[in-house]
């Protein structure tokens, strides 16, 4: 017997009527650039993230890779609490949640009255009715949102702050001209099948929606594993945004997606993906931009604690230990 949409729990806010998960299109699509509405300046912009969120995680990695964190006030980070509750992401933790993870739940100075991320969205656009997502780049001068689309934020961070950065970071780009078509092609494979693929499996509200999303996910993981044989990076023998975009999903795979999103055909670590596993651990252990931005405690607290339709008790599983294996 097939599962019908009428049996869907009403708390199922993530899937649409057909039981399939469709990620909304981001609404704020501007960029920080010279000569535009959002001029590069020190002390003007803030990055708002959840440490748990793979999309926000991309922007944290790029911020470090570009050395933006080395310049005080250039793009400080504000971290929401790990728990995504009925009022969305918050700066002030909800009462009685499991997720008091150190380093989460702080404020933008001068914006302490904004306790929820939706307060920033509504300040920017009072008529805003879509989801209040992270990451967000907030402009403290115009009191508005520059962008809430991670794929675009990680592009303009390559260049927009170069004039303020230490010499060694100027001109460094993770989307180099000569590799763009290969990077774009890789992103087109990885986004629907892996980055969003795990969500489509996890938030599937029908058996059919779940079953149609598992094969492309694991087929793509095998393809990527083959592609990484004898290579350290996905594209062109150097670190690019393609690695950043894949990393934030793969590092969450064993601790969260395998169990919580029922992506349990294989673990990354169980031998089925030796090259992908080596690539993951090399990025994590050899490059601080990856390790220092990966907070397993917050990641697990968020997913297992917040999605009560998937995990009604909110209990956060202990393993797998260690969260990532040594090289």
Ligand X SMILES: N[C@@H](CCC(=O)N[C@@H](CS)C(=O)NCC(=O)O)C(=O)O
Q: Residue 231 and residue 139: Cα distance in Å, rounded?
A: 40
Say whether 133 counts as a known binding-site residue.
yes
149 touching ligand X, by CB under 6 A:
yes
Contact 18, 5 (CB under 8 A): yes
251 touching ligand X, by CB under 6 A:
no
Judged by CB under 6 A, the residue of 53, 217, 242, 256 near ligand X is: 53
Task: Give 187-241 as a 3 state SS string.
Answer: HHHHHHHHHCHHHHHHCCCCHHHHHHHHHHHHHHHHHHHHHCCCCCCCCCCCCCH
| Nearest-approach distance from CB 24 to ligand X, in angstroms | 7
Has 53 been annotated as catalytic?
yes
Distances (CA, A) of 17 to 5, 14, 201: 7, 10, 15
| Nearest-approach distance from CB 271 to ligand X, in angstroms | 29
45, 121, 199, 210: the active-site residue: 199
Q: Residues 70 to 109: which contact ligand X by CB under 6 A?
A: 84, 88
| Nearest-approach distance from CB 132 to ligand X, in angstroms | 6
Closest CB to ligand X among residues 15, 148: 148
Closest CB to ligand X among residues 21, 164: 21
Of 199, 327, 184, 180, nearest in space to 252 by CA: 199
| Residues ≥6 apart with Cβ < 8 Å to 261 | 198, 199, 201, 202, 203, 310
Q: What residue numbers does the annotated binding site for glutathione cover?
A: 89, 131-134, 149-150
Q: What residue numbers does the annotated binding site cover?
A: 89, 131-134, 149-150
- Which residues in this chain contact ligand X in the complex, by CB under 6 A? 23, 26, 53, 55, 84, 88, 131-135, 148-151
């Amino acid at each position: 017997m097939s599962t019908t949409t009428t049996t869907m729990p009403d708390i199922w806010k993530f899937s649409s009527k057909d039981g399939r998960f469709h990620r909304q299109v981001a609404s704020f699509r501007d960029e920080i650039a010279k000569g535009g509405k959002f001029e590069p300046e020190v002390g003007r912009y803030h990055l708002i993230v959840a440490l748990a969120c793979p999309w926000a995680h991309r922007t944290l990695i790029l911020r470090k890779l570009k050395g933006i964190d080395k310049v005080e006030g250039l793009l400080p980070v504000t971290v929401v609490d790990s728990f995504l509750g009925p009022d969305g992401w918050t700066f002030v933790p909800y009462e009685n949640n499991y997720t008091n993870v150190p380093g989460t739940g702080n404020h933008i100075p001068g914006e302490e009255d904004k306790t929820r991320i939706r307060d920033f969205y509504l300040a920017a656009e009072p008529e805003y009715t879509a989801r209040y997502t992270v990451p967000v780049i907030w402009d403290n001068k115009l009191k508005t949102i520059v962008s809430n689309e991670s794929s675009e934020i990680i592009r303009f961070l390559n260049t927009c702050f170069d004039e303020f950065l230490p010499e060694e970071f100027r001109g460094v780009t993770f989307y180099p001209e000569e590799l763009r078509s290969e990077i774009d092609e890789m992103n087109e494979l990885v986004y629907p099948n892996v980055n969003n693929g795990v969500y489509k499996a996890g938030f599937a509200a029908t058996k059919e929606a779940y079953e149609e999303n598992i094969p492309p996910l694991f087929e793509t993981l095998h393809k990527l594993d083959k592609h990484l044989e004898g290579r350290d990076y996905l594209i062109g023998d150097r670190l690019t945004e393609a690695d950043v975009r894949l990393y934030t999903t793969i590092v969450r795979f064993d601790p969260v997606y395998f169990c919580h999103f029922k992506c349990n055909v294989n673990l990354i670590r169980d031998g089925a993906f030796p090259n992908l596993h080596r690539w993951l651990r090399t990025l994590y252990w050899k490059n601080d931009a990856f390790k220092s931005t990966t907070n397993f405690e917050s990641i697990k607290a968020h997913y297992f604690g917040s999605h009560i339709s998937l995990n009604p008790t909110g209990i956060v599983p202990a393993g797998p230990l260690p969260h990532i294996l040594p090289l």
